[in-house]
Amino acid sequence: MILFADLLVFLGIVFLGLGLKPAVQICQKTHEIGWQILLTLIIAFMIGYSLFLFYLLSIRTITFVELGMSAILFGGSLFVALVVNYSLKSIGKIDDIAQLERYNAMHDSLTQLPNRHYCMQQLDKRIERRTPFSVLLFDVNNFKYVNDAMGHQFGDMLLRQISQRLSMILPKQAFFSRIGGDEFVVILRTGGRRPIEELYTVITEELSHPFNLGEYSIIASISTGVSIYPEYSTEKDQILKQADVAMYEAKNSGCGLYFYSSDLADKAKEQLDISSQLTSALHNQEFELHYQPIVNTRYNSLYGYEALIRWPQANGTFISPEVFIPIAEQSHIIRDITDWVVNQVILDMQLFHESGIDASIHLNLSAKDLNSRALFNNLEQLVKSDQLNANRLVLEVTESNMLKDLKNTKQVLQALREIGFKISLDDFGTGYSSLTLLRELPIDQIKIDKSFVSGMHRSEADHAIVKSSISLAHGLNCTVIAEGVEETELMVLLDTANCDYVQGFINGRAQTLEDIIFWTKQHQLKSAI
């Protein structure tokens, strides 16, 4: 019986020892006073158990009290060992869950790249080091078209594949993150332009290889803006904003890569000033419509005019629509401007009619006009109330605006066409999907871009493109307008190619309503409709 008691106490010491290591690990993980006290007690218990075992070994006989004490000590040590080891496993699982939550909080769920929050933390750390670094912010060109035309699942596939490819080719010291949508950020440990340009070349080369998205195969391209610390700012939000401004400049200019500069800052300020003035300009009736004639030269007849908005300034100059329209398109005011243009065109059409001129008026639509039912509802109401003859208004839409939401654009254009409006595809040939648009969308007319027309008498390629475009359009029952006609030789070539109408400086620049009426009467042009 004494040997049994000795064994129980000895095993109790062993179990306490088995609980000692996990107790130490728990103390290291939690640093809580409760576990530190328990660790101290375990050590004290081991000493106490050892003294009791020494006592048992020193006596020849034991009582039931001493045997019971040995059993209690054994049970207590077993309990401590089980509790401590189970607690360690539970804490480990909690740590794993917490670590996973921390990872998810700092990483993008789609690509597994660091997210915006993680990116901002990295910017903080880099700024604290006070050493130069660069921020490259890029987005995927025409990504919305991929989502709209193919489906969001294919858009997600493209983002994942881009992330995987670039993760493999970027320098190891580079920080690569997805900050939202199709926008990515790369932070480099360099403030030099040449390494950035070289890396951009590597990235674009990698993206030039087709991406296989199920049944589709596409080539991706990016627009990249660069901000360099501490060249223009030492604040993370400002650095990221500068890269964003540079990225949009890269996208608008088509150059692909753009470095932020003080000139760009001045331009951004100018755009902000213009943006703040647009509302008051609209309210104060500062805009004007000028009209450029569209002529059928074969019959010396007037087909119509293109209504072009102008913004005159107090000093006699004009803010170009190429400047203020893109700014207006970034806000909802573009819809108000379109409404103003429509209403002004209606008033001017009445004056044209009173002057004996009945011609079609071409009006340009923005991407936001196409993405809203407001324009359709407004035009439909004007037609139903007999304030507007739909047959006299041609709605011009550029290819780039159509591609921003192809599915919705098709629905809106079809609805407009059903109530009598004609649709003209502007800047035909400048994009990558002109033929697709002719097939998919309800188009009545194409306007061949002046970049092809103006050089067709000097370039066989341009000449062939223009002739083929005219033939293709006629085959699809579309009429054709050639833009940018400035020379008589071009008129002859276009007439030979059976082009329906021409527009350009050879027939006059855009003029005010009074001037264009005078010009039309002076040239004795009869309406073709």
User: Are residues 298 and 346 part of one domain?
Assistant: yes
Tokens of 450: 């002046």
CB atoms within 10 A of CB 250: 23
User: Are residues 226 and 144 part of one domain?
Assistant: yes
Work out how many domains the chain is built from and give that number.
Answer: 3
Three-state secondary-structure class, residue 430: coil
Instruction: Give the pLDDT score at 253.
Output: 80
Q: Is the dihedral of CA 97, 99, 105, 108 positive or negative?
A: negative
CATH code where residue 238 lies: 3.30.70.270
User: Are residues 154 and 64 part of one domain?
Assistant: no
Within-domain flag for 529: no
User: Are residues 374 and 318 part of one domain?
Assistant: yes
Within-domain flag for 528: no
DSSP 8-state code for residue 511: B
182 is catalytic: yes
Within-domain flag for 266: no
Spatial separation of the C-alpha atoms in residues 237 and 132, rounded to whole Å: 16
User: Are residues 198 and 151 part of one domain?
Assistant: yes
- C-beta contacts of 503-510 below 8 A and 24+ residues apart: 503/292, 503/293, 503/294, 503/295, 503/306, 503/447, 504/450, 504/453, 507/293, 507/294, 507/295, 508/292, 508/293, 509/292, 510/290, 510/291, 510/292, 510/306, 510/308, 510/310
Q: Which of 234, 260, 286 is at the close of a domain?
A: 260
Instruction: Give the pLDDT score at 95.
Output: 76
Within-domain flag for 332: yes
Within-domain flag for 510: yes
User: Are residues 346 and 243 part of one domain?
Assistant: no
User: Are residues 89 and 196 part of one domain?
Assistant: no
User: Are residues 488 and 378 part of one domain?
Assistant: yes
Within-domain flag for 36: yes
Residues 239, 231: contact at Cβ < 8 Å? no
What angle in degrees, to the nearest 10, is found between the helix axes of 152-169 and 143-150? 140
Spatial separation of the C-alpha atoms in residues 315 and 372, rounded to whole Å: 36
CATH code where residue 391 lies: 3.20.20.450
User: Are residues 148 and 91 part of one domain?
Assistant: no
Instruction: Give the pLDDT score at 529.
Output: 55
For 292, list phi and psi in degrees, rounded to 5: -110, 130
Instruction: Give the pLDDT score at 526.
Output: 65
Closest CA to 135 of 172, 68, 189: 189
User: Are residues 310 and 246 part of one domain?
Assistant: no
Residue where the block lists tokens 């119509």: 304
Closest CA to 480 of 421, 428, 409, 419: 428
Residues 401, 371: contact at Cβ < 8 Å? no
Instruction: Give the pLDDT score at 527.
Output: 64
User: Are residues 321 and 190 part of one domain?
Assistant: no
User: pLDDT in tens for each of the 529 residues of the chain?
Assistant: 678 877 888 888 888 888 888 888 888 887 888 878 888 888 888 888 888 888 877 887 777 778 788 888 888 888 888 888 888 888 778 777 777 778 788 899 999 999 999 999 999 999 999 999 999 999 999 888 788 777 889 899 999 999 999 999 999 999 999 999 999 999 999 888 999 999 999 999 999 899 988 887 888 899 999 999 998 889 999 999 999 999 988 988 888 999 998 888 787 788 888 988 999 999 999 999 999 999 987 777 899 999 999 999 989 899 999 889 988 988 789 999 999 999 999 999 999 999 999 899 999 998 888 877 888 899 999 999 999 999 999 999 987 777 667 778 888 899 999 999 999 999 887 765 567 777 778 999 999 999 899 889 899 999 999 999 999 999 999 999 999 999 989 999 999 999 999 999 988 899 999 999 999 988 877 665 5
Within-domain flag for 265: no
Spatial separation of the C-alpha atoms in residues 478 and 444, rounded to whole Å: 5
3-27: burial string, b at 16+ Cβ within 10 Å, e else: eebeebbbbbbbbbebbbebbbebb
306-325: burial string, b at 16+ Cβ within 10 Å, e else: bbbbebeeeeeeebebeebb
Closest CA to 429 of 443, 407, 450, 402: 450
Structural domain range at position 426: 271-522
- Active-site residue, from 182, 369, 426, 462: 182
Q: Which residues pair with 311 in a beta bridge?
A: 319
User: Are residues 124 and 90 part of one domain?
Assistant: no
Q: Which of 106, 130, 152 is at the close of a domain?
A: 106
Spatial separation of the C-alpha atoms in residues 332 and 369, rounded to whole Å: 9
Residues 145, 203: contact at Cβ < 8 Å? no
Within-domain flag for 527: no
Q: Which of 106, 137, 158 is at the close of a domain?
A: 106
Q: What Cα–Cα distance (Å) separates residue 297 from each residue in 72, 303, 508? A: 113, 10, 13
How far out from the chain centre does Cα 70 lie? 74
Spatial separation of the C-alpha atoms in residues 339 and 282, rounded to whole Å: 11
